[in-house]
DNA sequence: AGGGGCGAAATTTTT
DNA sequence: TTTCGCCCCT
């Protein structure tokens, strides 16, 4: 492969600066539609082609499988393009198809195969397949390479059993969902049960810590991990085992992280450990042949409820970078040129997000024409809102031959809002898809089959064994299960040990023993074949043997037919997986299945109107976007009304929605909405009052701007206030090094200043609380002179 | 062992 | 209003 720099010519100056960065840390602040995937992929190409970095030394982390897949594909094309130029002097697309395929497979064999590109979870599960047996849990629990990955519902079921059965707690007070949430949150901050207890020493905190302890024990007993463990265990392993960390630190010399604003504490720890080899951040400075390159946009941070913490991004300059102000820094690049939307749309987006205080100053610059104005529609109720939206879609589709159904998206805050749109779309036979509903892998029949496979692959996976021991019916009822359970408790052994012993089963299960033994026989039979047979063969015979398909056929309902079809699709997925992957083992497939999402199979070429939540829309773009339900309490959601930080997150969500639109943006709200069966009057969203009036056409004026109950004030009133003498102009006069006193954190030192003018934000380091980002307009800071 | 019926709850959810 | 989960009855 020849070194080449011509592909860099396609980049704008800031993209180019990001791409050409070689060693050391770099933060790329990438606005919506500014070509960040481009920067990431070109950078990887540049590392390999021009800096001769071995692809094995590159780790690229994303948050979704879709993003990982896209990155892989784009890199492959990029390399193939280079080779096409070098070998044939032509662009890739000008070559005959077989040449293109040949080039691409050549690139795969030599480059992309060796790159580690994937989600945090997928990459960590890969690391754990190597090293989990070296992990030492404080309570002596161990895991084997064959571990299962529990999904969210498995995890919650487990928590529920612990709360109600093991600890006998009131599940009203200790709602399994919120307890699971608390445990997840703890794990996402790399907290042990003891850490959690220390943080919340009250009764509830102690109880939750106790559930957490039991939960870990149960996971270990099942040789299973939950999603959070996939990240947390590598972190703990790295912290306790120098040689393991040393290996991966040495291996991943160039680390790239996409959507850095969405990282949580544990993920941050992982990146930091890999980068510094566990050395103290302040002492580490050996960036030879090494880089940590993160890309993100604080304005698109919308997952704080999943423990994402965008202050990690805001702090990058201080902990990895040179910490210099924006104009002098060599460790930050801003991508502000937007290639997606018309300038009108961008203006609205910029204008809205300016109301947020916690952000890195950034303005999206248009590269396209003005476009149409934004239209804001006030509807009588949710039915009329849907009528308006569908009417617009139909007439735009009819009038513009270039617009297809797939070019439209309806974005809403909550899933429940899809219904009225679906009804009207159906009435007019407009093809549509609801994105992000039930995951394929969450369907009952799929979970059943996967439970069989998991039980076969992982003998300790009692949860999976129990799920299918009586599916299809084998006459193994609750009574039998209870007896078996009791036996495992007394003996302290995994369920399988009892199931696999004929004598024990006969004693315990009585008249159900026939069914239990039949089941155990099936599992045993396939477990023996695990090493030699392919996953696809196992699945195929298993479906026959277990009578699973037969039982579905016997049902004879339409629903059962659907299920059979889905199981067939799962079989196809295994076949495809075996064809496409280097490691086609059943274990690898199971990991892949556990980590798959529904978004992964959202079809783009199917030409349907897309309906989805604003959260699901992140990373996508559509020529025409409808942002619906802009009502106070719905969007912003009522749970965020009291909390300024939460309201800012809702505003970011609004910003994400607006910046999905390429050509046309419609915003709508209803005067009255059916909510849980009752008609409720609705008032216009806070965000409507923040729209720039000159850029918006309405059918009845913009709603009255909402007053906030808490003192987040919009940028304009702040500007006025700042102009008044003595009203706080001096507040903006902060300097790094100032010592301040915070009402709850006490004294701290200002280490960094974000933003400018009235949107200033301070990073303050407190001796005990660590670093916090504080808006001096929201929190009264006293100066310690 | 499984279905019917009643009561309570009802954001967002990359993995 | 709808959906889900639990309990009780058969």
What would the DSSP string read from start to end of A486-541? HHHHHHT--HHHHHT-HHHHHHHHGGGHHHHHHHHHHHHHHHHHTTTS-HHHHHHH
Query: For position A219, which CATH number holds?
Result: 1.10.10.160
Q: Which nucleotide is nearest to A160 (CA to C1')?
A: C5
pLDDT at position A221 is 94
A180 sits within 7 Å of strand C by its CB: no
Whether residues A105 and A125 share a domain: the answer is no
Q: Which nucleotide is nearest to A677 (CA to C1')?
A: C1
Q: Which residue has the tokens 């056929």?
A: A553
pLDDT at position A484 is 87
Whether residue A30 is annotated as binding a ligand: the answer is yes
Query: For position A662, which CATH number holds?
Result: 3.40.50.300
pLDDT at position A762 is 60
Q: Which nucleotide is nearest to A304 (CA to C1')?
A: B12
A511 sits within 7 Å of strand B by its CB: no
Give the length of chain A.
785
Whether residue A37 is annotated as binding a ligand: the answer is yes
- Taking the alpha carbons of A640, A645, A651, A656 in that order, is the dihedral positive or negative? negative
Question: Is A259 a residue of the active site?
Answer: yes
Query: For position A453, which CATH number holds?
Result: 1.10.486.10
Whether residues A368 and A430 share a domain: the answer is yes
**A9 burial type by CB count under 10 A (0-12 exposed, 13-18 middle, 19+ buried):** exposed
The Cα–Cα gap between A561 and A576 comes to: 23
Is the residue at A528 inside a domain?
yes
Whether residue A682 is annotated as binding a ligand: the answer is no
Q: Round to a whole number and report the distance in Å from the CA of A473 to the C1' of B1.
A: 10
Is the residue at A243 inside a domain?
no
* C-alpha triplet A62, A63, A69: angle, nearest 5°: 60
Residue A126 token pair: 């890969």
Whether residues A477 and A387 share a domain: the answer is no
Q: Which helix (H) or strand (E) holds A483?
A: helix A478-491
A160 sits within 7 Å of strand C by its CB: yes
Give residue numbers, 546 to 575 of A, with CB < 7 Å from strand C.
none
Q: Which nucleotide is nearest to A676 (CA to C1')?
A: C1
C-alpha distances in Å from residue A73, one per residue of A51, A66, A68, A123, A256: 21, 11, 9, 18, 16
Q: Is A292 left (phi over 0), alpha (psi -120 to 50) or beta?
A: beta
Q: Round to a whole number and report the distance in Å from the CA of A65 to the C1' of B15.
A: 9
Whether residues A589 and A498 share a domain: the answer is yes
Reduce the DSSP state of residue A704 to 3 states and report it. Answer: coil
Question: Is A36 a residue of the active site?
Answer: yes
A596 sits within 7 Å of strand B by its CB: yes
Whether residues A504 and A558 share a domain: the answer is yes
- Where are the extended beta strands (E) located within A286-420? 291-296, 332-335, 337-338, 365-366, 374-379, 408-412
Is the residue at A240 inside a domain?
no
Domains identified in chain A, total number: 5
The Cα–Cα gap between A455 and A79 comes to: 42
Whether residues A417 and A545 share a domain: the answer is no
Whether residues A624 and A653 share a domain: the answer is yes
Whether residues A455 and A587 share a domain: the answer is yes
Q: Round to a whole number and report the distance in Å from the CA of A412 to the C1' of B3.
A: 37
Q: What is the DSSP letter of A30?
A: E
The Cα–Cα gap between A7 and A24 comes to: 23
pLDDT at position A723 is 39
Domain coverage including residue A493 = 439-593
Examine the fold and report which residue of A671, A696, A721 is the final residue of a domain before the chain moves on: A696
- Taking the alpha carbons of A149, A155, A158, A163 in that order, is the dihedral positive or negative? positive
Is the residue at A397 inside a domain?
yes
pLDDT at position A724 is 37
Q: Which residues pair with A748 in a beta bridge?
A: A740
A676 sits within 7 Å of strand C by its CB: yes
Reduce the DSSP state of residue A345 to 3 states and report it. Answer: helix
Q: Please say whether the beta carbons of A516 and A509 come within 8 A.
A: yes
The Cα–Cα gap between A139 and A135 comes to: 12
Give residue numbers, 583 to 602 of A, with CB < 7 Å from strand C.
none
A600 sits within 7 Å of strand B by its CB: yes
pLDDT at position A338 is 97
Examine the fold and report which residue of A696, A717, A746 is the final residue of a domain before the chain moves on: A696
Whether residues A183 and A102 share a domain: the answer is no
Which of A76, A81, A228, A259 does the annotation list as catalytic? Answer: A259
**Can you list the residues of chain A whose pLDDT is less than 70?**
1-5, 598-603, 701-737, 742-746, 749, 751-780, 784-785
Reduce the DSSP state of residue A291 to 3 states and report it. Answer: strand
Q: Please say whether the beta carbons of A608 and A431 come within 8 A.
A: yes
pLDDT at position A514 is 87
Is the residue at A7 inside a domain?
no
A152 sits within 7 Å of strand B by its CB: yes
- Where are the extended beta strands (E) located within A542-617? 609-613
Whether residues A523 and A650 share a domain: the answer is no
Cα–chain-centroid distance for residue A295? 15
Whether residues A108 and A130 share a domain: the answer is no
Nucleotides on strand B lying under 7 Å from protein C-beta: 1-2, 9-15
Is the residue at A724 inside a domain?
no
Is the residue at A247 inside a domain?
no
Residue A429 token pair: 């036979």
Examine the fold and report which residue of A593, A613, A642 is the final residue of a domain before the chain moves on: A593
Is the residue at A497 inside a domain?
yes
Whether residues A194 and A215 share a domain: the answer is yes
Q: Which nucleotide is nearest to A637 (CA to C1')?
A: B11
């Amino acid at each position: 492969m020849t070194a080449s720099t011509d592909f860099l010519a396609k980049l704008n100056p800031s993209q180019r600066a990001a791409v050409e960065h070689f060693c050391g840390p770099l933060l790329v602040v990438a606005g919506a539609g500014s070509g960040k995937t481009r920067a990431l992929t070109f950078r990887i190409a540049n590392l390999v082609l021009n800096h001769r970095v071995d692809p094995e030394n590159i780790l690229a982390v994303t948050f979704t499988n879709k993003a990982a897949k896209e990155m892989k594909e784009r890199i492959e094309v990029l390399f193939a393009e280079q080779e096409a130029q070098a070998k044939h002097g032509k662009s890739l697309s000008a070559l005959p198809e077989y040449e293109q395929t040949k080039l691409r497979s050549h690139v795969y064999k030599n480059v992309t195969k060796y790159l580690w590109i994937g989600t945090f979870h997928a990459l960590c599960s890969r690391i754990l397949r190597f090293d989990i047996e070296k992990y030492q849990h404080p309570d002596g629990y161990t895991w084997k390479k064959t571990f299962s990955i529990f999904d969210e519902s498995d995890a919650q079921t487990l928590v529920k059993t612990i709360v109600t059965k093991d600890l006998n707690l009131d599940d009203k007070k200790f709602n399994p969902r919120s307890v699971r949430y608390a445990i997840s949150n703890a794990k996402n901050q790399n907290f042990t049960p003891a850490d959690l207890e220390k943080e919340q020493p009250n009764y509830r905190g102690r109880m939750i810590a106790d559930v957490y302890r039991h939960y870990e024990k149960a996971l270990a007993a099942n040789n299973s991990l939950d999603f959070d463990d996939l990240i947390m265990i590598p972190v703990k392993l790295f912290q306790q085992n120098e040689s393991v960390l040393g290996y991966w630190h040495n291996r991943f010399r160039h680390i790239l992280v996409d959507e850095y604003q969405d990282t949580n504490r544990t993920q941050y720890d992982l990146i930091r450990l890999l980068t510094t080899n566990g050395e103290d951040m302040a002492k580490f400075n050996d960036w030879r042949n090494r880089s940590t390159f993160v890309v993100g946009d604080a304005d698109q941070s919308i997952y704080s409820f999943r423990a994402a913490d965008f202050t990690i991004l805001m702090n990058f300059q201080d902990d990895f970078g040179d910490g210099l102000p924006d104009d002098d820094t060599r460790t930050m690049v801003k991508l502000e040129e937007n290639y997606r939307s018309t300038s009108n749309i961008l203006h609205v987006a910029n204008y809205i997000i300016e109301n947020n205080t916690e952000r890195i100053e950034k303005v999206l610059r248009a590269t396209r024409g003005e476009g149409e104005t934004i239209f804001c529609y006030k509807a009588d109720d949710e039915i009329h809102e849907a009528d308006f939206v569908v009417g617009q879609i139909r007439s735009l589709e009819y009038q513009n031959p270039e617009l297809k159904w797939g070019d439209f998206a309806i974005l809403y805050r909550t899933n429940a809002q899809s219904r009225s749109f679906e009804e009207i779309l159906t009435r007019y036979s407009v093809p549509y898809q609801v994105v992000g509903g039930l995951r394929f892998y969450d369907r009952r029949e799929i979970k059943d089959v996967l439970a069989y496979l998991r039980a076969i692959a992982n003998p300790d996976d009692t949860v999976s064994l129990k799920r299918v021991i009586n599916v299809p019916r084998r006459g193994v009822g609750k009574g039998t299960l209870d007896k078996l359970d009791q036996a495992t408790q007394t003996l302290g052994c995994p369920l399988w040990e009892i199931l696999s012993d004929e004598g024990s089963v006969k004693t315990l299960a009585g008249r159900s023993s026939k069914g239990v033994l039949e089941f155990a026989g099936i599992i045993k039979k396939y477990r023996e074949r695990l090493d030699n047979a392919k996953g696809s063969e196992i699945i195929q015979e298993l479906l026959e043997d277990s009578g699973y398909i037969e039982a579905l056929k016997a049902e004879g309902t339409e629903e059962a037919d659907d299920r059979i079809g889905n199981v067939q699709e799962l079989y196809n997925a295994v076949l495809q997986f075996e064809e496409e992957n280097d490691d086609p083992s059943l274990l690898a497939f199971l990991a892949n299945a556990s980590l798959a999402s529904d978004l992964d199979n959202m079809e783009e070429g199917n030409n349907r109107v897309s309906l989805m939540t604003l959260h699901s829309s992140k990373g996508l773009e559509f020529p025409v976007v409808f942002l619906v339900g802009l009502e106070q309490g719905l969007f912003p959601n009522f749970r965020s009304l009291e909390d300024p930080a939460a309201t800012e997150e809702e505003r970011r969500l609004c910003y994400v929605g607006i910046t999905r639109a390429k050509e046309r943006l419609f915003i709508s709200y209803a005067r009255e909405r059916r909510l849980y069966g009752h008609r409720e009057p609705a008032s216009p969203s806070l965000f409507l009052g923040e729209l720039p009036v000159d850029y918006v056409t309405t059918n009845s004026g913009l709603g009255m701007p909402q007053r906030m109950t808490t003192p987040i004030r919009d940028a304009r009133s702040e500007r006025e206030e700042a102009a008044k003498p003595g009203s706080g102009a001096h507040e903006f006069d902060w300097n790094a090094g100032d010592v301040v006193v915070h009402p709850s954190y006490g004294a701290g030192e200002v280490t960094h200043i974000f933003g400018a003018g009235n949107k200033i934000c301070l990073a303050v380091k407190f001796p005990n609380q660590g670093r916090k980002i504080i808006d001096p307009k929201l929190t009264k800071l006293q100066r310690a002179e």
